[in-house]
Amino acid sequence: MKVYFSHGKESGPWGSKIKRLANVAKEQGFSVDSIDYSDIADPDLRVERLINVLEKVEEDFLLVGSSMGGYVSLVASEKVNAKGVFLLAPALFMQGYKKQTYSNGNNVEIVHGWSDDIIPPENSIKLAKNIDCSLHLISGDHRLNSSIEVVEKLFVQFLISQAYNAVLQRTSG
């Protein structure tokens, strides 16, 4: 299974958080890729880029998105067959973003910092309530750097559960 990372508005495809989480995924036996959106400011054009990449993928995959990349991953997941979506302080319900309602609650997990002054934690609470998904509100700001060890542990749990679900689907189907 492969993990596709989508970075935020101000960062790049291999920023420190994505590098750390990519290493975690590799340690768990996943292959990884991080899409470069640094040439695109519009979040909905970023969604199109991700969908175009994923339409060519034949193996099972997971999506991981941070901030604007969280929006990109969640919106794309409604159009592709992602096995799971892991969102870090996702930029949801934001003014100027085309999509304001989200329907994919299938294996979505959210991590958001209580002290986020960029994206209010209430936005993730609203999404979790609307789509009935897992939400982890942890100590930290928008970047979650001060709590990266907690994020890594939550990510490992997510990866293990997704790998287990994939095995179950293969053996029962």
pLDDT digits (tens, 9 = 90+) for 149-164: 999 999 999 999 998 8
pLDDT digits (tens, 9 = 90+) for 97-135: 999 999 876 799 999 999 999 999 999 999 999 999 999
pTM: 0.95
Whether the CB-CB separation of 90 and 71 falls below 8 Å is answered with yes
CATH number of the domain to which 96 belongs: 3.40.50.1820
Q: How many domains does the chain have?
A: 1
Classify each residue of 2-28 as buried b or exposed e, where b means 16 or more C-beta atoms within 10 Å of its C-beta: ebbbbbbbebebebebbebbbebbeeb
147 lies in which domain range?
2-172
DSSP structure string for 35-88: E--TT---HHHHHHHHHHHHTT--S-EEEEEETHHHHHHHHHHTTS--SEEEEE
